[in-house]
Each structure stands twice: as structure tokens, then as C-alpha cells.
Amino acid sequence: MATYEYFCDHCGSFEVRLAIGTAPDGHGCPACAGPARRVFSAPSLAMTPPSTASLREREERSREAPDVVSAVPSRPRRRPEPAPHPALSRLPRP
């Protein structure tokens, strides 16, 4: 289900929840039953996780002022492999 916004000339804006892709261009106003036209608005991004929001902000900043790299970044250290479970040593070998 998606939330679609409509605007009635007499009553103002209101929202209707419909299946995705089934919203008509016009809808009846729930208050006055008059015609209302569909309004296209930005999606609600208020519930975006902070990590995603910071990545989006960084991406938008890089459009105007990209980071300049003067050297190849170093590779991160690899974590040591964990020791195998002791029970694995008792298994039969082929």
C-alpha cells in the first residue's frame, strides 16, 4: 500500500492509501465529495536510518565539492582467522 496525496480546491489536501500503481489522477474529496487532483510530493524520508542519511548527505556534498585523493588508500588489515572448533579434529578424515 502507498499513500497518495490529493488536493481539493474547497477543503485542501488529503491523503489516500491505495495499492501501488493504482492511484487515479482524480479522486473524490472525503469531506465535500468534490473532485480533487493528485499532487506529487517527495517521499517521506524521516524514518531513514542515520547511517543511510549520512551516506546520502555525503553523496550530495560530493557533487559540488568532491574529495580529492592524493594517494592510494592503504588496505585494511585482515582479521586473523578464528581457530577451528575443537570438535572438528575428532571427525573422520577421508
pTM for the full predicted model? 0.47
pLDDT above 70 coverage of the chain, percent: 97
Report yes or no on 7 lying in a domain: yes
Structure-block grid coordinates of residue 2: 502507498
Query: Is residue 35 assigned to a domain?
Result: yes
Structural domain of residue 19, as residue ranges? 2-39
Query: pLDDT tens digit string along 33-64?
Result: 999 999 987 776 667 788 888 898 888 888 88
Residue 13 placed within a domain: yes
Distance (Å, whole) CA 5 – CA 25: 10
Residue 55, in any domain of the structure: no
Answer whether residue 23 is part of any domain: yes
Q: Where residue 7 sits, what CATH number does that domain have?
A: 2.20.28
What angle is formed at CA 60 by the lines to CA 59 and CA 61, rounded to 5 degrees? 90
Domain count, the chain: 1
Q: What angle do CA 22, 25, 31 make, to 5 degrees?
A: 100
- Measured from the Cβ of residue 28, the count of other Cβ atoms closer than 10 Å reads 13
